[in-house]
Amino acid sequence: MSDRLDVVEQGMLWKIPERFNVGSAVLENDGSLPALVSVDVNGGVAKYTFHDLRRFSSMVANGLRDYGVGRGDRVVLHLLQGVELVGCLLAVYRLAAIAVTVPALLGSEAVEYRVKDSGAKAVIVDQALKHKLSNINTEQTMIFVANGGGGEKTYGLEELMGGSASFSDVVTSSDEAAHIFYTSGTEGPPKGAVHAHRWILTHIPCFKLGYDNGPREDDVFWTPADWAWIGGCGNLLLTALLFGRPVVAVRRLGRFDPAKAYEVMEQFKITCSFIPPTALRMMRRFDHEPLKHYGLSLRAVLSGGEPVTAEVVDWGRKELNASINETYGQTEANLLTANSAAAGILKPGSVGKPVPGHVIQILDEALRPLPAGVLGHIALKLPDPSAFLGYWRNPEATAMKMRGGYLLTGDLGWMDEDGFVWFKSRADDLIKTSGYRLSPWEVEQAINRHPAVEESAVIGVPDPERYQAVKAFIVLKQGFEPSTQLVEELCEAVRKAVGPHATPRDVEFVKEIPKTATFKLKRSELRKKLG
């Protein structure tokens, strides 16, 4: 397996095998090796080897085939972290069907949209999430329920797994569709980004860099991120398993709990973790000096999805005794850049340098490359095997995403003289005020430094003089109350840190700020709220 994984990166050349299947590749590992440690809601622990995963996924694959699921059919997986999600995902790959993973955080309408838009032939859902499928036509889509059995017009997962524990994998091309990840839908309905089986191979170079020349033989992996997201799935779960390293799964519903995160890392001696920036900040606020209270073994944290501050990187080095390496990617093409403390590639606040094999360029509106230090559109030069195949049944949107020989990320940033990429904002989040282009993130960071603030989100609102004015939504920490003085302090903090043009003209205190399943702020939802 190790030799096979080395061939995907040779300088700037990719060597993707003609035939490749993600499920088959993961299960090439020694069957006796530990693969998964699963923790249930009551703290009960179950351990699985790669042999166990092969057996589980074989029974699911046989069952799906017996129910008529085959090559190219879509199977929605709406499951929590655990052996069910891993086993069913590997089964769908091995069957040459297409997995559609749906995050647990999504509501009923969002789940139903993904089931219907993908034309799923089957859904495998956790009992705790089953209620979200009440409007699905079971005559068109079969529903199998894990951790609780079936019911009226549904089947229990055990019914699917009643057959043989031996399955002969379907041979697939590395370019054959394997997985659909839906985008968050900030610009209209969510779009299904279709990835080929090769998608996991293109994660390897950044995986090695981001986990500081990992994985090592004694590494144990865990992430609080939902495995249904390309970050949770590719940045940690499947890539760690591909290398034959064990992953800890924690079955949970609800919000991220920093105390639980520290407990999990201590109990299972986690060495490597993918932790989104928002979760890292929550951990830092909960316990600024965790090594005094927890016996941690953490050595490397990969983070991304939104900017990681230099302050958080420094805190990780001093207080977690771990590197926090920021990366950059998106649903359509992931893990494109990396910081790596171990490799000497590190500029805190940047998203790192382009990973070998990827060419990142900053473009102007006419898709012409810009010089170093100039703000523009972050783009991935094509062809590139990390790029998705296209949006599911949406050629128009695909054509807009891939133009002029580039995959256009929709993000703004710049590249410095040393080749490090700096993210500024989503193009649609950028605030245009008084002739300036303002990143909401810069304003949010200034606000978040105030001791009374738990978190904030900033958007632009129409303004007759400035075109747009800055509006801030703020969640206060427990024990603090809104006041005129506090608003003045927050505005002054922004004025000093970012500039007068960035000063919020309106401040609204709220109980919570909407987020995506990947912990990103949903500024688009705040804009919709204001009409």
- The DSSP code sequence of 275-331 is --HHHHHHHHHH-S-GGGTS-----EEEE-SSPPPHHHHHHIIIIISSEEEEEEEET
Does 493 or 437 have the greater pLDDT score?
A: 493
* Interval 66-74 mean pLDDT: 98
pLDDT at 345: 95
Q: How far is CA 243 from CA 1, 221, 467, in A?
A: 8, 11, 52
pLDDT at 426: 81
pLDDT at 290: 98
CATH of the domain at 505: 3.30.300.30
Final residue before a domain boundary, out of 119, 152, 172: 172
Q: Among all chains, which residue has been given the structure tokens 């003085």?
A: 485
Q: In the chain, count H helices and then E strands.
A: 16, 27
Other CB atoms within a 10 A radius of the CB of residue 82 amount to 21
pLDDT at 7: 42
CA angle, residues 83, 276, 394, in degrees to nearest 5: 75
The model's confidence at residue 4, banded by pLDDT at 50, 70 and 90, is: low
CB 447 within 8 A of CB 493: yes
Percent of the residues in the chain that have a pLDDT greater than 70, as a whole number: 96
- DSSP-based three-state secondary structure for 266: helix
Q: How far apart are CA 377 and CA 363, in angstroms?
A: 5
Does 377 or 9 have the greater pLDDT score?
A: 377
Other CB atoms within a 10 A radius of the CB of residue 524 amount to 18
The answer to whether residue 39 is domain-embedded is no
User: Please, what's the largest Cα pairwise distance for the chain?
Assistant: 70
Q: Which stretch of 10-14, 87-91, 167-171, 375-379 has the lowest confidence by average pLDDT? A: 10-14
Q: Among all chains, which residue has been given the structure tokens 């990840």?
A: 181
Residue 172 sits at φ, ψ, to 5 deg, of: -125, 150
- DSSP-based three-state secondary structure for 162: coil
The model's confidence at residue 438, banded by pLDDT at 50, 70 and 90, is: confident
Q: Does position 243 have pLDDT exceeding 90, yes or no?
A: yes
Final residue before a domain boundary, out of 150, 172, 194: 172
Q: Does position 195 have pLDDT exceeding 90, yes or no?
A: yes
- The gap from C-alpha 355 to its chain's centroid, in whole angstroms, comes to 18
CB 351 within 8 A of CB 324: no
Q: Indicate the number of domains in the chain.
A: 2
Q: What end-to-end distance do the CA atoms of the chain give, in Å?
A: 53
Provide the token pair at 406: 């580039």
The answer to whether residue 263 is domain-embedded is no
Percent of the residues in the chain that have a pLDDT greater than 90, as a whole number: 80
Q: How far apart are CA 233 and CA 223, in angstroms?
A: 9
Pinpoint the alpha helices (H) of 300-453: 310-315, 395-401, 440-448
Does 71 or 285 have the greater pLDDT score?
A: 71
Residue 256, C-beta contacts closer than 8 angstroms, at least 6 positions apart: 224, 278, 279, 282, 519
The answer to whether residue 335 is domain-embedded is no
Q: Which stretch of 161-165, 168-172, 251-255 has the lowest confidence by average pLDDT? A: 251-255
CB 249 within 8 A of CB 236: no
The answer to whether residue 350 is domain-embedded is no
The model's confidence at residue 439, banded by pLDDT at 50, 70 and 90, is: confident
pLDDT at 324: 98
CB 348 within 8 A of CB 277: no
The answer to whether residue 117 is domain-embedded is yes
Q: Which stretch of 71-75, 280-284, 395-399, 430-434 has the lowest confidence by average pLDDT? A: 430-434
Q: How far apart are CA 527 and CA 503, in angstroms?
A: 18
**For 40-67, b where at least 16 C-beta lie within 10 A, e where not — what string?**
eeeeeeeebbbebbbbbbbbbbbbbbee
* Interval 192-200 mean pLDDT: 98
pLDDT at 188: 64
pLDDT at 3: 54
Q: Which stretch of 5-9, 213-217, 394-398 has the lowest confidence by average pLDDT? A: 5-9
Q: How far apart are CA 153 and CA 175, in angstroms?
A: 36
In this structure, which amino acid lies at residue 372?
A
In this structure, which amino acid lies at residue 426?
R
CATH of the domain at 129: 3.40.50.980
pTM: 0.88
Q: Among all chains, which residue has been given the structure tokens 């094999």?
A: 357
In this structure, which amino acid lies at residue 59?
M
Residue 441 sits at φ, ψ, to 5 deg, of: -60, -40
Rg of the chain on CA atoms, in Å: 23
- According to DSSP, the residues that pair with 362 across neighbouring strands are 378
pLDDT at 186: 53
Residue range(s) defining the domain that contains residue 487: 429-529
Q: Does position 412 have pLDDT exceeding 90, yes or no?
A: yes
* Interval 222-240 mean pLDDT: 97
Average confidence score pLDDT of the chain = 93
pLDDT at 303: 96
pLDDT at 330: 94
Final residue before a domain boundary, out of 126, 144, 172: 172
In this predicted model, what pLDDT tens digit does every residue of 94-133 receive, in sequence order?
999 999 999 998 888 889 999 999 999 999 999 999 999 9
List, as one string, the DSSP characters of 45-110. EEEEEHHHHHHHHHHHHHHHHHTT--TT-EEEEE--SSHHHHHHHHHHHHTT-EEEE--TT--HHH
Starting from the edge strand earliest in sequence, which strands make up the sheet with 467-476, in order?
453-463, 467-476, 506-509
The answer to whether residue 71 is domain-embedded is yes
| 514 DSSP 8-state letter | -
Residue 477, C-beta contacts closer than 8 angstroms, at least 6 positions apart: 451, 452, 453, 454
In this predicted model, what pLDDT tens digit does every residue of 469-484 receive, in sequence order?
999 999 999 999 999 9
E strand or H helix at 280, and its extent? helix 277-286
Q: Does position 309 have pLDDT exceeding 90, yes or no?
A: no
pLDDT at 491: 97
Q: How far apart are CA 412 and CA 408, in angstroms?
A: 10
In this predicted model, what pLDDT tens digit does every residue of 339-384 receive, in sequence order?
999 999 999 999 999 999 999 999 999 999 999 999 999 999 999 9
